[in-house]
Every structure is written in C-alpha cells, then in structure tokens.
Structure 1
C-alpha cells in the first residue's frame, strides 16, 4: 500500500477509537512524537498512549488533505470543534516507523474540559 492509503486507513481506525486497531499500523520499534508531548517509543507504548487518549476524550479526525512524498505521508486535519493539526508519517514496509504531529494542546485540553498541565 502507498503511504497515503495507509494514512487514510489509520484515520478510519483513529475515528473508531480502538487502540488495538490503530497500533497495528505501527512497527514494533516505531516512534510517535506529538510535539506537545514527550515522544513515545515502541508499538506497545504507542498502543497504551492511544488507549489513554481515547479514554480521556472523544476525538474525531476530519481529513483536509493527505500528501505523499516517497516513504512519507503528510496529513492536514481538523476536528468538529475547529481544532486543526498536521501529522507526518514515515512508512516503510506498510508500517509506520515514525510519526510526528503538531497541534494546539492548550486548545484541545480546554475544549475537552481536561486539566491544563
């Protein structure tokens, strides 16, 4: 599958809020670094991160654009309450090796009535 196709399937899994399903897209040694948070290393740690995040808030990713450049896919997204962000996915052998995301954490926490850390 092309990186762009994998990201579209990743979004579908994200929107179902299933940590096991979404973690299947990652390599065993993958790194997920949402720049507003500490980076998370390893497939199981990434699964646990999503499990925690899905239990904290109902999140919906609406795709605005997905770009592809070689082994990379870039996702521009928004959610129903107006938050926006961008994710970069390095994909090899149909698995995410590295993911980096940019979004406004303070706006997210306030919108979901979560404690500001």
Structure 2
C-alpha cells in the first residue's frame, strides 16, 4: 500500500476510534512522536496512547491535504473544534514505521473542555 493510502486508512480508523485498526497499520517497533510528549516506541506504547486519548476526548480528523513523497506522507488536518495540525508518516512495506505530529496541546485540552494536567504545566515551566 502506498503512503497516501496508509494515511487515508489511518484517518478512517482514527475517526472511528478503532484502536485495533490503527495498531494494525504500524510496524511492531514503530515510533510515534507527537511533539507534545516523548517519542513512543513499539506497538504497545502506541496502543496505550490511542486508548487514553479516545477515552478522554471525542476526536475527528478532517484531512486538509495529503502529500506523498517517496516513503513519506505528510498530512495537514483540522477538526470540527478549530484545532489544526500536521502529521508526518514514514511508511515502509505498507506500514507506519515512524510518525511525528504537530499540534497545540493546550488548545486541544481547552477545545475538548479538559483540565490541563499538572505534569504538562510543570514540563513547560521547566523549559523557561
């Protein structure tokens, strides 16, 4: 499967909160690095991320654009609450080997009506 098709399938699974479907799209030793957290290594860490996120928020990814270049697909996205972001997917043998996502986590918490975790604020204070 070409990178763009993998990302399109990823969006479909994401929008259905289908953790198992999402995990089937990753290599066992894949890395998912959402820049608001440390990189997650391996399918079980990635599974845990999706389980936590789907349990705490209703999310919907609207594709604005997907660009494919070699083994990479780059997706610009938005959601119905006004959040925007961008994801980079390195695809090998039809599965995600590496993913990096950029979005504003504070805006995500606020749009979802979620409390901002203390650890998140503490991390930001330490970076000043």
TM bracket (short chain) = over 0.9
Aligned-pair distance for 1:68?
Answer: 0.4
Q: What are the equivalent positions in structure 2 for 1:74-93 lying under 5 Å apart?
A: 74-93=74-93
1:36-93: CA deviation from partner (whole Å, max 9, x where unpaired) = 1121110111011101100010000000000000000000000001100000000000
Aligned-pair distance for 1:19?
Answer: 1.0
The aligned counterpart of 2:32 is 32
Distance 1:29 1:105 in 2: 25
The aligned counterpart of 2:72 is 72
Q: What are the equivalent positions in structure 2 for 1:34-113 lying under 5 Å apart?
A: 34-113=34-113
The runs of 4+ residues in structure 1 deviating greater than 2 Å are none
Q: Which runs of 5+ in 2 are unaligned?
A: 118-128
Scaled by the length of structure 1, what TM-score is found? 0.97
Q: Is the 8 A contact 1:19 1:48 kept in 2?
A: no
- Structure label with greater radius of gyration: 2
More helix by share: 2
The aligned counterpart of 1:9 is 9
Scaled by the length of structure 2, what TM-score is found? 0.89
Q: Which runs of 5+ in 1 are unaligned?
A: none
RMSD between aligned alpha carbons?
0.7
